[in-house]
Amino acid sequence: MRLSTKSRYGLRAMIDITYNCGPEPVQIQDISRRQQISPRYLEQIFQNLKRAGLLKSKRGPQGGYELSRKPDEITVLEILNATEQDVLLVDCAGVTPKKQRRKADCPFEGQCVTQIVWAEANALLDTLFSGMTLQTLCKRADEMGIKNEADHRVM
């Protein structure tokens, strides 16, 4: 599996919102500056995150983006699923979260032992990613000594 920049940037942006901003909405230009991601590209990514119910936005001078739930309720898996079509190592193994069926039919269905390997690996990755929340990652950032722009810690 190779995650796209949408997933990598989406996760970084969600961590940035959690780690640097508090309860107030954050403007996309601030995230863009800190993460060195194009504001236009962030807007595209944020549309997917909004559709998935992970972000909400407010208009106006005090507007911006904010998490739709608490940081300990949003998992890495949810963010990846919102930004990727499907998070699978290979197309023929595992079910897609959106369709509840295989992404592609396999001509070796039931005759390929590697399909079991890929399915088990997908399950392990899902378990790993669903066990990591934004709060977990912010704690790790804090432990690493990564500075944030706000004088608070979201924990």
Q: Is the pLDDT of residue 152 over 60?
A: no
Cβ–Cβ contacts within 10 Å for residue 88, how many? Answer: 23
* Phi/psi of residue 67, nearest 5 degrees: -65, 145
Q: What is the mean pLDDT of the chain?
A: 86
pLDDT reported for residue 143: 93
pLDDT for position 153: 39
State how far the Cα of 127 lies from the Cα of 131, in Å rounded to an integer.
Answer: 6
* Residue 95 pLDDT: 57
Domains of the chain: 5-144 (1.10.10.10)
Count H helices and E strands in the chain, helices first: 6, 2
Q: Give residue 127's pLDDT band: very low, low, confident or very high (50, 70, 90).
A: very high
pLDDT: is 106 or 131 the higher one?
Answer: 131
Q: Give pLDDT tens digits for 5-41.
A: 999 999 999 999 999 887 789 999 999 999 999 999 9
Mean pLDDT of 66-92: 90
Model pLDDT, residue 109 = 74
